[in-house]
Amino acid sequence: MSIIAPPLSLYIHIPWCVKKCPYCDFNSHAQNGELPVQAYVDALLADLDRDIESFAGAVAGRPLHSIFFGGGTPSLFAPDAIARILDGVGLRLALPDGIEVTLETNPGTVEHGRFDQYLRAGVSRLSFGVQSFDDSKLARLGRIHSASDAERAIRDAQDAGYSNINLDLMYALPEQTLAQALDDVERAISLEPTHLSHYQLTLEPNTLFASRPPPLPDEDSAWDMQDACQERMSVAGFAQYEVSAYAKDSRHSLHNLNYWQFGDYLGIGAGAHGKLTDVDRGTIVRTAKVKLPRSYLERAARDEPAGTLNPVDAAERPFEFMMNALRLNAGVDLRLFVERCGMDSSAIADALRSARKRGWISDDPERIVATELGRRFLNDVIGLFLPDRPGKA
């Protein structure tokens, strides 16, 4: 079967934060002195040049679908640095008019520049890491902003002209009650964002919270919070379209949708990951850049490759595809699996049959959609597609 090229996005990682949060397992590093902004921008563009050259068969002639600045705290970089990155990208790749360009930003006033300047630089969408509107909970999470900081920053961004704004919220926080979780959602809705990301706090390995766990709500309480918050967001017009994503007026995150639909993306920056499809060769590869900012900058200074690549073999593709696609409430067409994995649907027939038998996937033969029960046991559903654990009828 031939692979059909999916949309191509670009992920740009800015690895620094003012302070590392105790729950965070992302590749982020506390700022220590002045940031090497100029050198890092140079390194990013050199990294992009190497990827374009190394993966010419997968990149040449393809316009970008979306751009996402993640971190870390990308808004630690002033608007002129972000503008220089986007200008450099535009010289190397085709940028369609109106392309979605997202910048993650924290609400603290020391962590972002003027929003009107980011807008002029080409950033069309902002994602605020609010997490909670309860100051006591923010302190427990190690955040350095307050609820009033968050509200002020969001209003400032709207006044500057931003109409596409996401707010990140967490629930099942230390000693959080259902009423407190609902209050966070209520205050978020009152700020009129277009998108909400609503995540359960989990204890990730190699984090401070994992080594010294705070008192978290039990599983039943967390589930009650999720159900109640989902209902409140639905009433306010936010439609859930992915496990943790809710959009108003169909303002879905185009960048994240590309991930969930097994799209392609270049990944540049310390710790950035990418996925690229070469249609002519019928290959899919994943890339990973070195994590430490110092090592990343040193390799750039020596004009050396900044990372590694790993082929995604045919046996691994069903699991890789389902790991993201099954997170979508509407699922995906079966033909999307065929087109983006370059495999016949018979390759997953046994796993689908097993999932349907257990009530985890709907009976629609043309679509792959997790049922409500399947969403509750999503890891088990996805596990059916592991290469060493074929589904059984």
Shared-domain flag, residues 247 and 320: no
Tell which wins on pLDDT, 2 or 268: 268
Looking at the structure, do residues 119 and 223 belong to the same domain, yes or no?
Answer: yes
Q: Where do runs of H (alpha helix) occur along the chain? A: 37-54, 56-59, 79-92, 115-121, 135-140, 147-159, 178-190, 208-211, 219-235, 254-260, 293-301, 317-325, 334-341, 349-357, 372-376, 378-383
Q: Are residues 199 and 338 in the same domain?
A: no
Question: Is residue 218 scored above 50 in pLDDT?
Answer: yes
**How large a percentage of the chain has pLDDT more than 70?**
98
In the predicted structure, residue 347 carries a pLDDT above the cut 90: yes
Q: Of 237, 258, 279, which residue sits at a domain end? A: 258
Q: Please compute the mean of the pLDDT values over residues 191-207 and round it to a whole number.
A: 96
Q: Backbone phi, then psi, for 5, in 5-degree steps?
A: -65, 130
Q: How large is the average pLDDT for residues 130-151?
A: 96
Full domain range(s) for residue 253: 8-258
State the pLDDT at residue 392.
42
Please report whether residue 334 resides in a domain. yes
- Is the distance from CB of 69 to CB of 16 less than 8 angstroms? no
Question: What's the pLDDT score for residue 390?
Answer: 47
Q: What is the pLDDT of residue 380?
A: 96
- State the pLDDT confidence band at 393, using cuts at 50, 70 and 90: very low
Judgement on whether residues 212 and 336 belong to the same structural domain of the protein: no
Instruction: Answer with the one of 258, 286, 307 that is the final residue of a domain.
Output: 258
Q: Is residue 191 part of a domain?
A: yes
The tally of domains found in the chain comes to: 2
- CATH code, domain carrying 379: 1.10.10.10
276 is a domain residue: no
What confidence score (pLDDT) does residue 111 get? 67
Residue 284 counted as domain residue: no
Q: Do 244 and 325 belong to one domain?
A: no
Pairing of strands 307-311, 283-289: antiparallel
Mean pLDDT of 140-147: 95
323, pLDDT greater than 60? yes
Same domain flag for 87 and 185: yes
Model confidence pLDDT, tens digit, residues 5-43: 999 999 999 999 999 999 998 999 999 899 999 999 999
Q: Does 150 fall in a domain?
A: yes
**Distance (Å, whole) CA 88 – CA 45:** 7
Do both 120 and 27 map to the same domain?
yes
Q: Do 219 and 358 fall into the same domain?
A: no
Interval 77-84 mean pLDDT: 96
pTM of the complete model: 0.96
What's residue 58's pLDDT? 94
Are residues 248 and 379 part of one domain? Answer: no
Question: Does residue 89 sit within a domain?
Answer: yes
- 231/357 same-domain check: no
- The yes-or-no verdict on residue 389 having pLDDT over 60 is no
- Cβ atoms 44, 69 nearer than 8 A: no
CA–CA distance, 50 with 27 (Å, rounded to integer): 22
Contact 344, 318 (CB under 8 A): no
Task: Report the range of poorest mean pLDDT among 103-117, 291-305, 333-347, 353-367.
Answer: 103-117
The pLDDT confidence band at residue 286, using thresholds 50, 70 and 90, is very high
Residues 263-284: pLDDT tens digits?
999 999 999 999 999 999 999 9
- Sign of the CA dihedral 97, 98, 99, 101? positive
Percent of the chain, pLDDT > 90? 94
Q: In Å, how far from its chain's centre is CA 257?
A: 9
- Which CATH number goes with the domain that contains 171? 3.20.20.70
Q: Report how far residue 372's alpha carbon sits from residue 362's, in angstroms, rounded to the nearest whole number.
A: 9
pLDDT at 112: 72
pLDDT of 109 reads: 63
* 193 in the same domain as 83: yes
Tell me the per-residue pLDDT of 221-242, one tens digit each, with 9 for 90 and over. 999 999 999 999 999 999 999 9
Q: Is 101 found in the same domain as 220?
A: yes
| pLDDT value of position 254 | 98
How far is residue 108 CA from its own chain's centroid? 21
Among the three residues 228, 258, 288, which one is the final residue of a domain in this structure? 258
Which pLDDT belongs to residue 17? 93
